[in-house]
Chains A and B, each alone.
Chain A
């Protein structure tokens, strides 16, 4: 009883491992794709950001409003 449960568990685990093994490359590729997408977004935004962030933010001073 205990033995068969253990072997079942073992079988399941090996199935799990297989699944993980199959999924992993796709996941990694997907993650790399996402990373490069984020990188290109940030690069694009870097191009439009005002040049001197510290000075620009410091000089943005408003009078109060409602």
Chain B
């Protein structure tokens, strides 16, 4: 699994008429990181397009394969692969960081936070090179009608009937905002009503199921590019989530979703969880700051969003007990920790959501804003509250209000700054991202292109480019290839070691 985030972007200090197009600005940001990062990140080809598959046997000279050129695609947009196995590029006029594939919730958090660090460095470098202050925000809306995504990806067995995902997972996504919401000032896509709501994204969903991600956004997205063996896997692309700053919010968001999906995959969820009107319900839950909004199921039964989350939690716990023996010890420990924290959050939400002000983004934001409202008698239409909403998500720790709360001991974290800094340059060890990240670090100059499921090398004295397929997400781990990569001093030796 993994998370990809499009960051909000702006540049200060120039009149509007000579403003850079946001796509160019994003391009500057990505390039600025590429020119400064250790290990020299090289090119990334558009991964899902089939031309990549035809690349085998295609010849280029070494000159054409120089990394400086490879950071640009045909559209002239920067596109980097990082030594931690992530991808950094320009998507839809935003800089986007797609974290590497990982197998645990804590590693999702680790590499998601590493992405924030990447963006903070990129913004600083771009500010220096442009002579203007470039600001990046880990949020999902400008409050004026535009929304940009934070997408989670989960690998599912191809055998899982998709209609079961639709009928059983929708209620989870609709109700989880009480935990995973990042908080937002303004109600409605253009903030046409004043107020606060739990989620950045809820107002931008208009359909129950579909392929779109930019228009008429569906709660369940049907995009099906597994980036793996398509006969075995499906990649579930979850597009409803908010960009979280809180480590606990991200941890619970993906920890709970991955267990609910495993349970759905196994056909182990028996409870009735079909929500009658998912789109309207999703908004209603987001708009209720007491977190007591009620949900009506298709059978007519009603319960709160918190109750519905508890139905999922109880079922997931029961399912876990049936398969615990098959899991590794760390996986068991993490599962239990996720369930305990999930339950604690639901209990606290029933008593008083403000108990979670040092854990969850939306509560932390609301509490801070409430303090301002009390002190300065501000209405929800106050620009100051909208600024707090925005600046909470500034990636630069000097301005980030989230970082200020952490600094004051008012927000709990799960990882140290050193652990996150390490994840900025070092890949996860237990997926194919390890191979991708390590070859970028050691042999980046010989990598012509890469995708999630392949790396293409230019090997001296070989007339054709060499493509290493990585179709199995769990192959290419440190255990399998770590020593080999360590022992090779150049790409020729690597290919000899690979037996190619």
Interface residues in B126-162 (C-beta closer than 8 Å to A): 141-149, 151
Contacts A/B (CB < 8 Å), 25 sampled: A41-B371, A45-B368, A45-B404, A53-B382, A53-B383, A56-B387, A57-B383, A58-B383, A59-B10, A61-B142, A62-B9, A62-B94, A62-B142, A63-B22, A64-B92, A64-B93, A64-B214, A65-B6, A65-B92, A65-B148, A66-B92, A66-B148, A66-B213, A66-B214, A66-B239
- Are the CB atoms of B401 and A53 closer together than 8 Å? no
User: In the complex, what's the smallest C-beta–C-beta distance from A65 to chain B, in angstroms?
Assistant: 3
Q: Which of A41, A49, A61, A64 contacts B388 (CB 8 A)?
A: A49
Beyond the given pairs A44-B404, A62-B94, 19 more chain A to chain B contacts, judged by CB atoms under 8 angstroms and listed by A's residue number, are: A48-B399, A48-B401, A49-B384, A49-B391, A50-B387, A53-B384, A56-B387, A57-B390, A58-B383, A60-B143, A61-B144, A62-B8, A62-B146, A63-B94, A64-B93, A64-B146, A65-B92, A66-B151, A66-B213
Distance between Cα atoms of A65 and B212 in the complex (Å):
11
Chain A residues 15 to 52 lying within 8 A of chain B, measured CB to CB, are 38-39, 41-42, 44-45, 48-50
Chain B CB within 10 A, most for which of A44, A58, A61: A61
Q: Min CB distance, B377 to chain A, in Å? A: 13
In the bound complex, how far is the Cα of B391 from the Cα of A60, in angstroms? 11
CB-based contact B142/A41 at 8 Å: no
Q: Does A54 contact B (CB under 8 A)?
A: yes
Min CB distance B119 to A, Å, is 15
Is B386 an interface residue when CB atoms closer than 8 A count as contact? yes
Which A positions have Cβ atoms within 8 angstroms of B?
38-39, 41-42, 44-45, 48-50, 53-54, 56-66
Q: In the complex, which residues 350-396 of chain B have their Cβ closer than 8 Å to any Cβ of chain A?
A: 368, 371-372, 375, 382-384, 386-388, 390-391
Q: Distance in Å from the Cβ of A41 to the closest Cβ of chain B?
A: 6
Chain B contacts to A: CB under 8 angstroms? 6, 8-10, 22-23, 91-94, 141-149, 151, 213-214, 239, 368, 371-372, 375, 382-384, 386-388, 390-391, 398-399, 401, 404, 408, 410
Q: Which residue of chain A has its CB nearest to the CB of B392?
A: A45
- Report the minimum CB–CB distance from A64 to chain B (whole Å): 5
Question: Given A54-B383, A62-B9, is A42 in contact with B371 using a C-beta cutoff of 8 Å?
Answer: yes
Q: Is the CB–CB distance between A50 and B391 below 8 Å?
A: yes
Contacts of B10 in A (CB 8 A): 59-60, 62
Q: In the bound complex, how far is the Cα of B149 from the Cα of A66, in angstroms?
A: 5
Q: Is the CB of A63 within 8 A of B386?
A: no
Given contacts A48-B399, A53-B383, contact A41 B146 (CB under 8 A): no
- Contact assessment for B371 and A60 in the assembled complex, using a CB-CB cutoff below 8 Å: no
Is A38 a contact of B148 with CB atoms below 8 Å? Answer: no
Q: Which residues on A sit within 8 Å (CB–CB) of B141? A: 62
Instruction: Give Cα distance in the complex from A6 to B278, angstroms.
Output: 57
Which residues on B sit within 8 Å (CB–CB) of A49? 384, 387-388, 391
Complex alpha-carbon distance, A59 and B141, angstroms:
13
Q: How far is the CA of A50 from the CA of B392 in the complex (A)?
A: 12
A44 and B408 within 8 A (CB): yes
Is B146 touching A61 in the complex (CB atoms < 8 A)?
yes
Name A65's closest neighbour in chain B (CB-CB): B148
State A38–B410 Cα separation when bound (angstroms).
11
Name the CB-closest residue of B to A64.
Answer: B146
Which residues from chain B contact A65 at a C-beta distance below 8 Å? 6, 91-94, 146-149, 214
Q: Which residues on the B side are within 8 Å of A44 (C-beta)?
A: 404, 408
A66 vs B383: C-alpha distance in the bound complex, in angstroms? Answer: 26
Please tell me if the beta carbons of B410 and A41 are within 8 angstroms of each other in the complex: yes
Whether the pair B401, A60 counts as a contact (CB closer than 8 A) is no
